[in-house]
Amino acid sequence: ISVVNLYPAVQSLPTLASIIQSECLSSNLLALGDIDTSALTQPVRGYRVSTVAAIRGAIEPLQAAWPFDVIQSGYKIVFKPRGGASVATIPASDLDARAAGESPGVSITNAREMDSVLPRRVVVNYLDVTREYDTGTQADERLNTDSVNIRTIEMAIVLNATEALGIVQTLLYLYWLERYDISFSLPSSYNHLEPGDSITVNSDEATYSLRLTGITYTQDGRLECTAKYDAPAIYIRTAIGEEGTSTGRPLTLAGGTYYELMDVPLLLDSL
């Protein structure tokens, strides 16, 4: 069953937090106190869930439109939007934390994905609010690459052209920015860090702005961290899309209205 939540302009729009809460509570496994969506304040015009599937599958399109991380913090599931300020600055002397007796290793590793597997062009299909919720399309591409891949995303979210183009550009930048996998070890003094946190790492070679994607706590208290490059500016959307025109046709009255009772059998015996 397809359900689209449409809200007139005179009413306040629901927030992303309220939609995430509704999806999570429908599992009957989580209570409201088990999740924290307070940071997801973006308004959402409409959103369609067209198939019966895992709750994660219903949340992922929203996560693509308004990037956020889902982490376990204490006894809660926290939904943390990306693009926040750095919460810690790590000097080079704290990198390559190792157990007693271990010989020095590599302070920070940096693995890169091949450019040929990344998308040159990103296309988003969405429900266009200015075209009576007909399917709209926005696209953007990277010109300085030999990649020929096109990534098309079906996004059953009600947007206008400007919002959709901003999402396309953010996703295109993210795909290329996050083609690097960063890993390093930290001492136990950084136990306050969590996945999703933005940090600044001052290594001997360069200064890195990173977003933590995973933390493994070793038996001796060290933190083995994985991260991606972080650039808060890409979440600030400045693109302006060209709005489409309405696809409908104005209705006119051709004449008077007549009420006619039909002498036919009832459709249901109970009527």
φ, ψ of residue 172 to 5 degrees: the values are: -60, -45
Least confident of 64-68, 184-188, 206-210, 217-221: 217-221
Nearest alpha-carbon partner for 197 in 222, 236, 223: 223
> Is residue 53 scored above 90 in pLDDT?
no
Residue appearing with tokens 């039909």: 262
Predicted structure pTM score: 0.79
pLDDT 10s digits, 144-157: 888 999 999 999 99
> Is residue 265 scored above 50 in pLDDT?
yes
Residue appearing with tokens 């926040």: 84
Residues in the chain: 271
SS3 19: helix
What's the rounded Cα separation, in Å, for the pair 5 and 11? 13
What's the rounded Cα separation, in Å, for the pair 76 and 203? 33
- Residue pair 203/95 in contact by the 8 Å Cβ criterion: yes
What's the rounded Cα separation, in Å, for the pair 22 and 32? 9
* Sheet with 223-229, side-by-side order of all strands: 88-90, 198-202, 207-217, 223-229, 180-186, 109-112
In the chain, the largest separation of any two C-alpha atoms, in whole Å, equals: 96
Q: How confident is the model at residue 17 (pLDDT cuts 50, 70, 90)?
A: very high
Average pLDDT value for residue range 9-19: 79
What's the rounded Cα separation, in Å, for the pair 17 and 10? 20
φ, ψ of residue 155 to 5 degrees: the values are: -120, 100
Helix 161-177 with 55-65: angle, nearest 10 deg: 100
Question: Encoding tokens for residue 80?
Answer: 């943390």
pLDDT for 3? 45
pLDDT 10s digits, 68-115: 999 999 899 999 999 989 999 999 988 877 766 666 667 888 899 998
